[in-house]
């Protein structure tokens, strides 16, 4: 064992290493000098100069000073007591608070002889401190992460100077000064703008801001699939919620009940994007979902929606009729609104009076009278429809038929010289008719007023990087392909993944449709209170493709994968 001289400046871990013969005294003095000059730790210099490895230093410290040794890679970061120690102290002394029990705090540290750090922690927390030895290489990145301020993290996530404009911020003027100051945080504002802009550029349909007990995440729904985009610091959740609520004209003081609002982001003089805002109180804060309402999606044209030629012909023929009802059905997020808006744009001419009742109106349509339903103020669907009928309409669009009264007024309008377009939440076209029967609509009214029903789904479109795949014939037959389909004239494609599609193999979505005209034969089934199975069988005889069959056609065309169709349709 080598003893240090009486004048030696060595102490603590450096002295113990010299006494144990692990390094020379002159080497220890040199490393201490380098650490002081570069404002790093002695252990960092020890490891960087390859005198001793990080694991060996940790084992030596634990054995020599009698403290427990912990592998930080096996420790869940979510359990770290982030608020127990000031982040400046964490950065200065390279310590991490691991666990609290009663009046004792376990602290991860690479050098247990750093008595100044342990004393400052005792003074700041008023707790007894139990050192736990960890490797410097594992401790360093965790210290960096914990010592970053929320502002630093937001700046790194934003990574650019964003300065877009929100329009119509009346709520900011109405808010009191204290509330306005609370949300006037430049990094938070720029971070929100960055998230909105990224979502628009990615073609996302929704943005989810989600607080949890020990984390906060932001997810985009792109092509129908949610994926995590960012995990900002949990401490800014209130600022994010307040800022979004101010822009959306919501009450920032109300955090106990859901609220709905709207905001607009001005991208340029010619383009602005609207967002429908919904807040929901959860156990750990307000979850906020923004639905992106891009006006360009309403003007795509019917060719871009994915209708087969015969389906498009049937739909266009139905909506051009002078009166009757056309229904679009499908689950939430299946593109019903875009389909209806596309039909309205086709019908929107100077000589036509069009009125819509929506909850809420998602996309402004010039030349169309759009009414926002407000149940709290008494402006319900039936009230709006009755008002429409007194204003000489040619075409009426009802956002959704939810109840018997709305259905009765809509059907009455369709029978008295008006074209009525609306939506229902049903699985397919035949079940829509039985749903109306179950609501209490007389069968003769259903049979005489409904012209056509379109059921639809959205499936992800294969990216240009798609690849041919081989699938057993039995699998294709089970999916619904007939023997005639497997003639070798087409290839089955699957997702590959590239930079353009961010590795998913899919880019964009395409609709699959069941377009069922209500023929005389189907009218007779309705009049005799037939079931949806009876109606579906008759539609099949008349050549109407169900959703599965329409999806398989898209597979044959190479537009989507078999998995996508099987996942979105029932046989």
Query: % helix / strand / coil in the chain, to the nearest 5?
Result: 45, 20, 35
Give the whole-angstrom CA distance, residue 451 versus residue 470.
42
Distance of CA 406 to the CA centre of its chain: 32
Identify the CA nearest to 460 among candidates 361, 559, 375. Answer: 559
Token pair for 440: 């209490």
Report the predicted TM-score, pTM, of the whole model to 2 decimal places.
0.69
b/e sequence 41-54, b meaning 16+ C-beta within 10 Å: bbbbbbbeeebbeb
Give the whole-angstrom CA distance, residue 385 versus residue 484.
49
Q: What φ, ψ does residue 285 adopt, rounded to 5°?
A: 135, -175
Q: What digits encode the pLDDT tens for the residues 165-181? A: 566 544 444 444 334 43
Q: Using omega within 30 degrees of 0 as the cis cutoff, is the peptide bond preceding 273 cis?
A: no
Give the whole-angstrom CA distance, residue 145 versus residue 156.
12
Which is it for the CA torsion 225, 229, 234, 240, positive or negative?
negative
Give the whole-angstrom CA distance, residue 367 versus residue 353.
9
**88, 120, 141, 316 from 91: Cα distances, Å:** 5, 13, 11, 67
pLDDT tens for the chain, 571 residues long, are 344 444 446 778 888 888 888 888 888 888 888 888 887 888 888 888 878 888 888 899 889 899 999 888 888 776 777 778 877 788 888 888 888 888 898 899 988 888 888 998 888 888 899 999 999 888 888 887 776 655 555 555 555 555 555 665 444 444 443 344 344 467 788 888 888 888 888 889 999 999 998 889 999 998 888 999 888 888 889 989 999 999 888 999 999 999 998 888 887 777 788 899 999 999 999 999 999 987 776 666 788 888 999 999 999 999 999 999 999 999 888 889 889 999 999 999 999 999 999 988 878 888 999 998 888 888 999 999 999 999 999 999 998 898 899 999 999 999 999 999 999 989 899 999 999 999 999 999 999 999 999 999 999 999 999 999 988 888 888 988 888 888 878 899 999 988 888 888 998 889 999 999 999 999 999 999 899 999 999 999 999 999 999 999 999 999 999 999 998 887 6
156's CB contacts (< 8 A; 6+ apart) are: none
Identify the CA nearest to 50 among candidates 180, 137, 177, 157. Answer: 137
**145, 451, 455, 539 from 519: Cα distances, Å:** 66, 8, 16, 9
Q: What digits encode the pLDDT tens for the residues 457-500? A: 999 999 999 999 988 888 888 988 888 888 878 899 999 988 88
Q: What pLDDT does residue 189 have?
A: 82
Q: What pLDDT does residue 164 have?
A: 56
Q: What pLDDT does residue 171 have?
A: 40
Token pair for 48: 């960087």
């Amino acid at each position: 064992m080598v003893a240090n001289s009486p004048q030696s400046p060595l102490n603590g871990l450096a002295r113990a290493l010299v006494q144990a013969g692990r390094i020379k005294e002159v080497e220890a003095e040199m490393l201490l000098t380098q650490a002081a000059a570069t404002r790093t730790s002695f252990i960092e210099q020890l490891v960087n100069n390859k005198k001793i490895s990080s694991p060996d230093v940790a084992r030596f410290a634990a054995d020599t000073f009698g403290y427990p040794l912990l592998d930080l890679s096996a420790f869940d970061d979510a359990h770290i007591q982030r608020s127990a120690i000031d982040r400046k102290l964490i950065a200065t002394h390279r310590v991490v608070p691991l666990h609290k029990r009663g009046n004792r705090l376990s602290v991860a540290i690479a050098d247990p002889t750093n008595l100044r750090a342990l004393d400052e922690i005792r003074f700041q927390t008023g707790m007894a401190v139990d050192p736990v030895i960890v490797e410097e290489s594992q401790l360093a990145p965790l210290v960096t992460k914990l010592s970053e301020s929320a502002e630093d993290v937001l700046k790194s996530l934003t990574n650019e100077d964003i300065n877009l404009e929100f329009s119509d911020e009346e709520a900011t003027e109405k808010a009191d000064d204290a509330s306005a100051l609370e949300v006037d945080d430049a990094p938070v504002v720029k971070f929100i703008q960055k998230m909105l802009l990224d979502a628009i550029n990615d073609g996302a349909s929704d943005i989810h801001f989600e607080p949890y007990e020990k984390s906060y995440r932001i997810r985009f729904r792109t092509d129908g699939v949610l994926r995590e985009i960012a995990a900002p610091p949990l401490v800014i959740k209130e600022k994010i919620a307040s800022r979004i609520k101010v822009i959306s004209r919501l009450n920032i003081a109300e955090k106990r009940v859901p609220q709905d609002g709207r905001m607009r982001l001005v991208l340029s003089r010619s383009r602005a994007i609207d967002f429908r805002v919904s807040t929901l109180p959860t156990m750990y804060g307000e979850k906020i979902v923004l639905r992106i309402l891009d006006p360009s999606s309403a003007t795509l044209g019917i060719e871009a929606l994915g209708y087969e030629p015969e389906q498009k012909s049937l739909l266009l023929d139905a909506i051009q009729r002078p009166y009757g009802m056309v229904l679009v059905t499908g689950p939430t997020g299946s593109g019903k609104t875009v389909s209806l808006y596309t039909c309205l744009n086709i019908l929107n001419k100077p000589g036509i009076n069009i009125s819509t009742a929506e909850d809420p109106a998602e996309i402004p349509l010039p030349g169309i009278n759009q009414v926002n339903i407000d149940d709290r103020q008494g402006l319900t669907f039936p009230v709006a429809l009755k008002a429409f009928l007194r204003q000489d309409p040619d075409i009426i669009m009802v956002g959704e038929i939810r109840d018997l009264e709305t259905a009765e007024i809509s059907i009455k309008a369709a029978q008295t010289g008006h074209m009525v377009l609306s939506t229902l939440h049903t699985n397919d076209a035949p079940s829509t008719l039985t749903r109306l029967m179950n609501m209490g609509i007389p069968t003769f009214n259903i049979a005489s007023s409904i012209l056509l029903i379109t059921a639809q789904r959205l499936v992800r479109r294969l990216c240009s990087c798609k690849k041919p795949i081989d699938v057993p014939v039995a699998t294709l037959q089970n999916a619904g392909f007939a023997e005639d389909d497997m003639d070798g004239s087409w290839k089955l494609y699957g997702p590959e993944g590239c930079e353009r599609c961010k590795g998913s193999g899919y880019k964009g979505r395409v609709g699959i449709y069941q377009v069922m005209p209500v023929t005389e034969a189907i009218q007779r089934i309705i009049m005799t209170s037939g079931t949806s199975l009876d109606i579906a069988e008759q539609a099949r005889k008349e050549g109407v493709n169900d959703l599965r069959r329409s999806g398989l056609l898209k597979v044959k065309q190479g537009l989507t994968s078999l998995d996508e169709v099987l996942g979105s349709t029932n046989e």
